[in-house]
Amino acid sequence: MLVSYKWLQDYVDLSGITAKELAEKITKSGIEVEGVEVLNEGIKGVVVGYVLEREQHPNADKLNKCLVDIGAGEPVQIICGAPNVDKGQKVAVATVGAKLPGGVKIKRAKLRGEVSNGMICSLQELGMEGKIVPKEYAEGIFVFPQDAEVGTDAIALLNRNDEILELSLTPNRADCLSMLGVAYEVAAILGREVKLPETKLEPVAEKASDYVKVVVEAPEDNPLYVAKIIKNVKIGPSPLWMQTRLMNAGIRPHNNVVDITNYILLEYGQPLHAFDYDRFGSKEILVRRAKEGEKFTTLDDVERSLTADHLVITNGTEPVALAGVMGGANSEVTSDTTTVLLEAALFNGFTVRKASKDHGLRSEASARFEKGVDPNRVRAAGDRAAYLMAKYAGGEVLTGAAEVDTLTIEPAVIPITLEKINRVLGTDLDMNQVKEIFARLQFEASVDGDTITVTAPTRRGDIKIEEDLIEEVARLYGYDNIPKTLPVGSSTPGKLTAYQKKRRVVRQYLEGAGLYQAVTYSLTSEEKAAQYALEKREAIHLAMPMSEDRSVLRLSILPQLLEVVKYNSARQNDSLAVYETGNVFLANGTDALPEEREHLAAAITGLWTNHSWQGEKKPVDFFVLKGILEGLFAKLGLTDKVEYVQAQVDGLHPGRTAEILLNSKRIGFVGQVHPSVQKDLDLKDTYVFELSLKAVLEEETDDLQYVPIPRFPSITRDIALVANKETVSDTLKEIILEAGAPLLKEANVFDLYEGDKMEEGKKSIAFSLKYADPERTLTDEEVTKVHEQVLAALKEQAGAVLRG
Amino acid sequence: MQERLKELQAEAIEKVEQASSLKELNDIRVAYLGKKGPITEVLRGMGKLSAEERPVIGAFANEVRAAISAKMEAKQAELEEAAVQAKLASETIDVTLPGRPVKLGNHHPLTKIIEEIEDLFIGMGYEVAEGPEVEQDYYNFEALNLPKGHPARDMQDSFYITEDILLRTHTSPVQARTMEKHEGKGSIKIICPGKVYRRDNDDATHSHQFMQIEGLVVGENIRMSDLKGTLEVFAKKIFGEDREIRLRPSFFPFTEPSVEMDISCKICGGHGCSVCKHTGWIEILGAGMVHPNVLEMAGYDSRVFNGFAFGMGPERIAMLKYGVDDIRHFYTNDVRFLKQFAVEE
């Protein structure tokens, strides 16, 4: 809502308060003023001029040479390019030395050999938006009415010496979609009076009800319809003050009748519609739901196809208006109109909203009906519009109105105790303070002991319950004045759950290991959603996506993380290590919420070690990432529960991928991105993992228990084995540990050779075996005996023998 | 004989003094004190001496030996020390060369903000509550006093999956679910962080996915002044002790009275600049007293219980706090952006 500071003074005395101060006060009491626009900012030296002569510029077809009286000194010659400039017009002249918006300075100039002492201005040149400029002046200069006085300040005459407060209204404050509503608010804030606008109807004897009758078929959609008749109107421009007020509020002037309906819309917040009575097509107004497929052409010359959801005003047979949204071309007021049928009605907000949404037609009227208008203001608004039509369009207002009224107005009557107000706010107000606040708001209130009973005025449809009253008290008392306390009562220790705590451990660990945390989108494309999914499920689609790329909920994090790698690689961030934790979404049928499972994924690429001046440069590989995972599981106490098994995963290198098992259940995978995928994405070798973080964090960690440090030395024996190439180290290790138990404590791979010195299909793999007994020092003989068992088992179970 | 020994002593000592290496010193030792050395040779001639002279000369010879040995030891220590010094000197490194890099990652800036806020409220007795990102219409809207057709639903255009299931548009459904779980009994103090989704085109200030963090306190005696005090603690802790806060009345369907909180602009110190749109204030969060309908729908008796709630956007906080100019940076994950948030403040 754009509120003119000058216009507002019609209703509230604003003396002593600047527009800026007012904006600050309004903001602090609950309606955010987003800005204060000074309309004449940067404009100086524009006066009303009178075009004495106009002739064709001798050297330019499109220019006019004008002689203009600017009220001071001799008339001046001005060259003007506007097509509509003519002799006898009163126009806005930017004189030499004038300043216009955008830092334009007017200087004496020569145009094609002719001197120009200033500029005749269009409204756009004076800083007004093209869409609010009256159509006849949109392509040229603005012409003042003849009574404009030559030499006076044109900006003042155009009402541009005003400041506009831009109110950002929350949905509950529809009352401030009108100047009067704002006036009540401002009066309450300042503790001043509201002056209501004047309506002095002097109706002629003829009755409106003899001209038209109203039938409403759908009273719940239209509880009140008032039709007034104004005859003998003369269509013409509305007074300049009205036109300029409309323009300052962002509305384009049309003619006196239409401007008056718009003016009342702004003043009362009540949308009105003026029909041409003679073009109406009947003497009956029938308000009904539209028929399915019924056609109707609105004012904007668009043919609309209607449904039974839409309410229409008809002449008994065909629609003449889409109720509360827009009138029809067939009954529109034109320059020939002499009798006006004026509609002041109350339409159901939901019905209006539906129609306005279905047809993509949001009008000043529909916005107000949707948010709710004051039912008690409908007639007053109609009467005042009729009065203004008599005054400014020379019309005669007929007695009474044709109307249907099924409206029941029940103002909210809300009792509340002082104790409750103070208890909720934490204040210590007394009843007089509370009473005074409601008096300022012009809410009726009566006090009985500790209880004050408030009747909310119908203009404030948002006041329904005690808490609404508490808010009114709080905002007018001032939020600044409410004390600052902290909740009292039983205090509980705040904490994270075990899951949340461990999630933080995971993040810290991974970051300590060199990975940056990324956050990517949950919505992705259908194609990407299923890539690298740990569990294949039907993807979840949005009903109305904004784009293909963001149409499906992800089943895995990796595709997005690979995008991150790609994005960075393309920007010379060649070495990268990132991880992300976040939910993936697994469908549970269409009616149930999906399962949301927290995953952890990581991707590393480029150099892992880069300490170039000492010659240390090592690219990432599978074991870098596996090492990070091993460390993670060690940190979470899960080392013994986790296994890695060679596996095939779509999109990963078939020979360099492992599934991760937790308690023998598959929870994720780790591997190299498949070279063909790397090529597609233009990536260097990239290693990734993705796993169910939920499974990992929900796994119970054993309680910490101290194990005594060995007091006796251990004995280490190294063995180099020749084994089949496909026998994996884990298999050999298991055989060793099993055969060597209980004295054998550890077996660690320390060398691997698969070169051409080996027999075909064989590899050399060396283990370091550590024997120990917590109770004593082992003898060589004892160790040798067990060691022989180990070697025998290796030979028997895996065909692995000592390398000769 | 004594004369000869004296000569030898002087000669040996001079040579020792001139020795420049341990090897040279050793050669001198062998030459003078060895079995084939001149002193031994002199002593061999002692047989010719009288019984009275022999012990005198013997004692003298031992003195000479001792003097030479002592001198040698001193010289040896001296040479050894010089050798150590020379070795150390040869081992000097350029300490200004860069160290071996330790790989370090860090939190995403949004996580950093969220954890900071979580920790602040945990310290004030709150627990961290989480809930589903794909929500029922009921919890996202209806339970929060936003019935179907409510005009305020206009403010949050949503991603629906079915008519009743959508991507949550705020983290408030976690509040509704938490209250419902309490079955109308006992007090609640929670902070709810998480991802939310709205039908917005991604640009410098909008993102179809973003974070929210909300707080909820429900109890038998919760006052608006408690909300104000809590928000002040939050603002000063997160934005700095020198920041002013301002509460303005506002409107949210799920709170009444409702509040918006501004903090004084850090850039201009409250005098007005382009960042604060010349108001001196920057809007930072929405809050209010929990609407009685919301309490009742969750099973709380609104005549006995009340509460306050507040919610804010970590992106906005990060943008203000760190001066980030484009919300899309948070989701493109350019490592040159991410690594700027390594420092613990």
The ipTM of this complex is 0.88
From the list A719, A731, A734, the residue with the least C-alpha distance to A802 is A719
Segment A322-338 shows an average pLDDT of 94
Every domain of chain A and the residues it spans: 2-39+163-190, 44-157, 204-405, 413-481, 498-698, 715-802
What is the per-residue pLDDT for B56?
84
The reply to whether residue B225 touches residue A567, judged by beta carbons under 8 angstroms, is: no
| Contacts A–B by Cβ distance under 8 A | 247
pLDDT of residue A77: 94
- B195 and A582 in contact by Cβ < 8 A? yes
- The mean per-residue pLDDT over the stretch B298-314 comes to 95
Lowest-pLDDT choice from A278-287, B35-44, B312-321: B35-44
Chain B nearest CA to A357, separation (Å): 11
In the prediction, which pLDDT does B50 show?
A: 82
B344 is in an annotated binding site: no
**Contact call for residues A567 and A594 (beta carbons, < 8 A):** no
Q: Where are the beta strands (DSSP E) in A475-565?
A: 516-517, 523-524, 552-553
Alpha carbons B320 and A209: distance in angstroms, whole number = 63
- Is it the case that residue B104 has pLDDT exceeding 80? yes
Give yes or no for residue B149 having a pLDDT over 80.
Answer: no
SS3 A307: coil
The dotted CATH code for A44-157 is 2.40.50.140
Nearest CA in chain A to B244: A480
CA distance B87 to chain A (A): 22
Check B103 against A514: CB less than 8 A apart: yes
A522 has a pLDDT exceeding 60 = yes
Over chain A, what is the mean pLDDT? 94
- A479 and B230 within 8 Å at the Cβ level: the answer is no
Average pLDDT, chain B: 90
Q: Which residues of B touch A489 (CB under 8 A)?
A: 187, 219-221
pLDDT reported for residue A45? 93
Arithmetic mean of pLDDT, A200-215: 94
Query: How confident is residue A226, by pLDDT bands cut at 50, 70 and 90?
Result: very high
Residue of B nearest to A541 (CA): B161
Q: What is the DSSP letter of A125?
A: G
What is the distance in angstroms between the Cα of A576 and the nearest Cα belonging to chain B? Answer: 8
Decide if pLDDT at B241 tops 60: yes
Which candidate in A422, A476, A485 is best for mutational testing of the B interface (most B CBs within 10 A)?
Answer: A485
Closest partner residue to A516 (CB to CB) among B162, B289, B335 is B335
For residue A523, the distance in angstroms to the closest alpha carbon of chain B comes to: 9
Our CA-based measurement puts residue A614 at a distance from the nearest CA of chain B, in whole angstroms, of 9
- What average pLDDT does this structure show over A203-217? 95
pLDDT greater than 90 at residue A385: yes
Residue B221 exposure: Cα atoms within 13 Å on the Cβ side: 8
pLDDT at A18 over 80: yes
* pLDDT at residue B154 is higher than 60: no
Domain A715-802 has CATH 3.30.70.380: yes
Q: Which of B133, B167, B225 is closest, CB to CB, to A482? A: B225
What is the pLDDT confidence band of residue B2, given thresholds at 50, 70 and 90?
A: confident
Instruction: Identify all chain A residues contacting B232, using CB atoms and an 8 Å cutoff.
Output: 484
For residue B288, give how far its alpha carbon lies from the nearest alpha carbon of chain A (Å). 10
| Chain B residues in contact with A423 (beta carbon < 8 A) | 221, 223
- C-alpha span between B265 and B283 (Å, rounded): 9
CB contact under 8 A, A467 and B101: no
Chain A closest-CA separation from residue B282 CA (Å): 12
Of A484, A543, A613, the CB nearest to B161: A543
Of the candidates B98, B155, B230, which has its C-beta nearest A486's C-beta?
A: B230
CB contact under 8 A, A511 and B260: no
A709-731 residue pLDDT tens: 989 999 999 999 999 999 999 99
Whether residue A486 and residue B229 make contact (CB cut-off 8 A), yes or no, is yes
Contact A546 B260 (CB under 8 A): no
A752 vs B266, higher pLDDT: A752
Whether the domain at A2-39+163-190 and the domain at A44-157 fall into the same CATH topology: no
pLDDT of residue A517: 98
Burial of A620 (0-12, 13-18, 19+ CB in 10 A): buried
Does the pLDDT of residue B220 top 70, yes or no? Answer: yes
Interface mutation vs chain A, best among B94, B108, B157, B174, most A CBs within 10 Å: B108
Query: Is the pLDDT reported for residue B28 higher than 90?
Result: no
Residues of B with Cβ-Cβ distance to A553 under 8 angstroms:
134
Range with the poorest average pLDDT among A202-206, B70-74, B263-267, B312-316: B263-267
CA dihedral for A636, A637, A641, A645, sign (positive or negative): positive
- Comparing CB atoms, the residue among A426, A517, A543 nearest residue B223 is A426
Q: Considering the domain A204-405 in this protein, what is its CATH number?
A: 3.50.40.10
Q: Is A489 exposed, middle or buried (0-12, 13-18, 19+ CB in 10 A)?
A: exposed
DSSP β-ladder status, A340-346 and A224-231: antiparallel
Residue of B nearest to A607 (CA): B103
Q: How confident is the model at residue A490 (pLDDT cuts 50, 70, 90)?
A: low
In this prediction, residue B151 carries a pLDDT of 61
Residue A423 burial (C-beta neighbours within 10 Å; 0-12, 13-18, 19+): middle
The span from the CA of A641 to the CA of A277, in Å, is 87
Closest-CA residue of chain B to A501: B128
Q: Which of B187, B223, B336 sits opposite A573 (nearest CB)?
A: B336
**pLDDT confidence of residue B203:** 93
Span A346-381, pLDDT tens digits: 999 999 999 999 999 989 999 999 989 999 999 999
B104–A496 C-beta distance less than 8 A? no
Place of tokens 């938490």: B178
Confidence of residue B274 (pLDDT cuts 50, 70, 90): confident
Comparing CB atoms, the residue among B149, B152, B197 nearest residue A171 is B152
pLDDT in the model for residue B57: 83
Topology annotation, domain A498-698: BirA Bifunctional Protein; domain 2 (3.30.930)
Is A69 within any annotated ligand binding site? Answer: no
**Domain A413-481 in this protein, CATH class:** alpha beta
Q: What percent of chain A has pLDDT over 70?
A: 100
Which of A487, A523, A553 is opposite residue B219, by nearest beta carbon?
A487
- Domain A2-39+163-190, CATH class in plain words: alpha beta
Of B103, B161, B229, the CB nearest to A540: B161
pLDDT of residue B345: 77
Exposure b/e, B307-330, CB count within 10 A at least 16 = b: bbbbbbbbbbbbbbbeebeebebb
Mutation target among B190, B222, B333 for the A interface, most CBs of A within 10 A: B333
- Classify residue A365 by burial, with Cβ atoms within 10 Å: 0-12, 13-18, 19+: buried
Distances (CA, A) of A627 to A191, A623, A632, A633, A754: 73, 6, 9, 10, 22
CB–CB of B108 and A504 under 8 A?
no
* DSSP-derived pairing of the beta strands A801-802 and A715-724: antiparallel
| Interface probe, candidates B182, B225, B281, B302, chain A, greatest A C-beta count within 10 A | B225
Over range B275-285, report the average pLDDT: 82
Q: Residue A559: its pLDDT value, please? A: 97
Confidence grade of residue B152 (pLDDT, cut at 50, 70, 90): low
Question: What pLDDT is stored for residue B156 in this prediction?
Answer: 54
pLDDT over threshold 60, residue A265 = yes
Q: Which of A28, A38, A170, A562 to mutate to test the interface with B (most CBs of B within 10 A)?
A: A170
Chain B residues with CB-CB distance to A479 below 8 A: 228, 246-249, 259
On the question of pLDDT at B279 being above 80, the answer is no
What is the reported pLDDT for A757?
87
B-chain residues within 8 Å CB-CB of A606? none
Quick one: average pLDDT of A425-437? 96
Distance of residue B150 Cα from the nearest chain A Cα, in angstroms: 9
Pick from B284, B317, B139, B134: which is nearest to B211 by CA?
A: B317
Lowest mean pLDDT across A56-60, A397-401, A645-649, A689-693: A56-60
Interface test with B, best of A32, A437, A467, A632 (most B CBs within 10 A): A467
